[in-house]
Structure 1
Amino acid sequence: MSLAATPSVETATATLDADLLKRSFGAYPSGITIVTADTANGLVGFTCQAFFSVSLEPPLLAISVMNSSSSYPVIRDHQRFAVNVLAEHHAELALKFARKTADRWEGTGWRHSACGSPLIDEAVVTYDCEIWSEVQAGDHTIVIARILDVHLTEHVKRAPMVYVDSRFCGVK
């Protein structure tokens, strides 16, 4: 059985203020990741705060990507990527990979995984993935990925970075 959402008359006609919605989403802390791939077109990567576990069997995770992303179409064509969970000291790196014009890889420490994905140095944990499916959701695409490998580093005792109220901080 499938359930389809049917908006009520009130919600179907209501227009939410975009700034209010952004601020309300910002009140909820989210982890910060950098999604990376080494493709035929070179290294690509972008900062992503919408990341979550989906399933243990099969091992799946999900990221949410803006439809306007210039990096994700390259990753989609490649089919494989890594999700790098950032540590609290990675704020500048998160900002660098969020910018459209920056050379994201200049000065960035990384290494290849056994699957060929770029793994960010000192990430708390990294996941090697391949695309499992995509779901179009408004101005974003939810990408569900099969986890091929997990890398818990010696830095796992560091606090992961979170984003809340338009600022980066660590979890204590």
Structure 2
Amino acid sequence: MIDSVRLRRALGHYPTGVVVVAALSDGEPHGFTVNSFTSVSLDPPIVSFCAAHTSTTWPRIRAAGAFTISVLSAGQERVCQSFAKKGTDRFSGVGWTVNASGHPAITGAVAWIDCVLDSCHLVGDHELILARVVDLTTNDDAGDDPLVFHRGRLGRVLL
């Protein structure tokens, strides 16, 4: 039997990018931090991420059927932490706009990926989400590396 604390510690040695998944649902913005985001397919363009099955935010985003993924920049640790907190107004004090897809895009992110929900699969204590990419934009003005999560800390990639 693998202990969950031991597994988390071991997997923490693998750096992951950090994104905010956000949607407007019933006229209100909803979003949360994700570090399980990955590309699945280039043709057709499909991405994935996971949400805890206990999440109260994911059902609101899922109901919207579409969302924007903001790839956070290395200077956006505070944004990451804001969207990771439960029970708060995660958008308070965070710059964002409603993009052409109609969903919140975090200001200063290095990229924005507009998606429509393709499928969800309950896997263990999380839901695995597959989404079709319908549009994307990179922010060459961000001038920063993406935010990464590694060994329990937020930082940047040093090459």
What is the TM-score of this pair, normalised by structure 2?
0.95
Q: Which residue of 2 aligns with 1:105?
A: 91
Matched, 1:59 2:45: yes
How far off its partner does 1:154 sit?
A: 2.5
* Structure 1 residue 41 displacement after superposition: 5.2
Instruction: State TM-score, norm by structure 1.
Output: 0.88
Asked if 2 retains the 8 angstrom alpha-carbon contact of 1:123 and 1:155, the reply is no
Q: Which runs of 5+ in 1 are unaligned?
A: 1-14
Inter-partner Cα distance in structure 1 for 2:156 and 2:141: 14
Q: Rg larger in 1 or in 2?
A: 1
Alignment match, 2:23:
37
Q: Does 1:18 align with 2:8?
A: no
Counterpart in the other structure of 2:122: 136
Higher strand proportion (structure 1 or 2)? 2
For 1:70 and 1:155, how far apart are their aligned partners in 2? Answer: 34
The structure with the greater share of residues assigned to helix is 1
Paired AA for residue 95 in structure 2: G
Q: What residue is the counterpart of 1:69 in the other structure?
A: 55
Separation in 1 of the partners of 2:37 and 2:142? 18
- Alpha-carbon distance between aligned partners in 1 of 2:46 and 2:4, rounded to the nearest angstrom: 31
Structure 2 unaligned segments of length 5 or more: list them. Answer: none
Equivalent-residue separation in structure 2 for 1:65 and 1:161 (angstroms)? 19
Is 1:123 aligned with 2:123?
no
Number of aligned positions between the proteins: 158
Matched residues in 2 for 1:104 and 1:138: separation?
27
Q: Which runs of 4+ in 1 moved over 4 A?
A: none
